[in-house]
Amino acid sequence: MTPTEPEEHGRGRDRALAFSDGVFAIAITLLVLNLRAPHLSGHDLDRQLRHALGREGGVLVGFVLSFYVIARYWLLHHRMSLRLRRVDARFMVMNLVFLAFIVFLPFPAEILGLYGQTVTAVVLYASTMVVIGVTSLVLWEYAIRARLMAPVGDEERHEFRRRAIVPIVVFGSSLPLAFASTTVAKLWWTLLVAAPLLRSTMRRRRARRSSSTAARAGSRGGPDEPPRGGAGSTR
């Protein structure tokens, strides 16, 4: 190993991460460009504006959902970057494939906003989301197995897998639903937001129950507390 190799590895990692952040920023910017202000004229502009905004409702929903997903994957990618020590050629290729679908997402998002009642639009959007989830998961697993990252504990690895698999399951299971009802399939996607909220609520409830149980046990006295009264007590 030459003295310059660690520096090259560090510079390669930094460039890869900077490029990744730039692609995420571009993808989010492209999502915003799908939102277009209506140009109206004539009388009763208020009614016309409500009608125009109603027509753009699908595009707005697509923007919100896509922004949430991109932000979610950026957070996972950022979490990986904090532990990433170096990169290799395979990681670079996998990362580029993952980023390709991230920057592609605004296109199916716009299609969904314009033609959300069609099976083709729903299937295209959900399929893109599944591919993004799979490529993200593969990227993480490769970085861990190739020892490109700092050691990751089993609990943290399990938590990441859960976060990565949830979107895959939600969007993947919506694909057959789309052929029965596009409305049901799109409503199914709300599980992506509802599941973390439900899990967080259940976690807080378990924590409160544990705290109250510990408090009651403390008020009754722990098992090591000496007995009060009786034959063994002193007067």
Distance (Å, whole) CA 179 – CA 13: 43
Rounded to 10°, the helix 119-145/89-104 angle is: 160
Mark the ranges of the chain whose per-residue pLDDT is less than 70.
1-10, 37-40, 42, 52-53, 55-57, 195-200, 203, 212, 214-235
Model pLDDT, residue 123: 96
How far apart are the two ends of the chain, measured CA to CA in Å?
79
Closest CA to 161 of 147, 144, 179, 177: 144
Rounding to the nearest 10 degrees, give the CA dihedral for residues 131, 153, 143, 6: 150
Closest CA to 69 of 122, 105, 19: 105
CATH topology of domain 5-38+46-215: I/LWEQ domain (1.20.1410)
Alpha helices in the chain (DSSP H): 5-33, 45-55, 57-83, 89-104, 106-115, 119-145, 154-180, 182-188, 191-220
Q: Exposed, middle or buried by CB within 10 Å (0-12, 13-18, 19+), for 145? A: exposed
Model pLDDT, residue 224: 52
Q: Which two tokens stand for residue 8?
A: 């090259």
Residue appearing with tokens 């896509």: 66
Residues 6+ apart with CB under 8 A from 81: 17, 20
Summarize pLDDT for 198-207 with one digit per residue, the tens: 666 776 777 7
Model pLDDT, residue 104: 94
DSSP for 127-187? Answer: HHHHHHHHHHHHHHHHHHHTT-BS---HHHHHHHHHHHHHHHHHHHHHHHHHHH-HHHHHH
Distance (Å, whole) CA 208 – CA 228: 30
Domain ranges of the chain: 5-38+46-215
Closest CA to 67 of 117, 24, 119: 24
- Quick one: DSSP state of residue 227? P
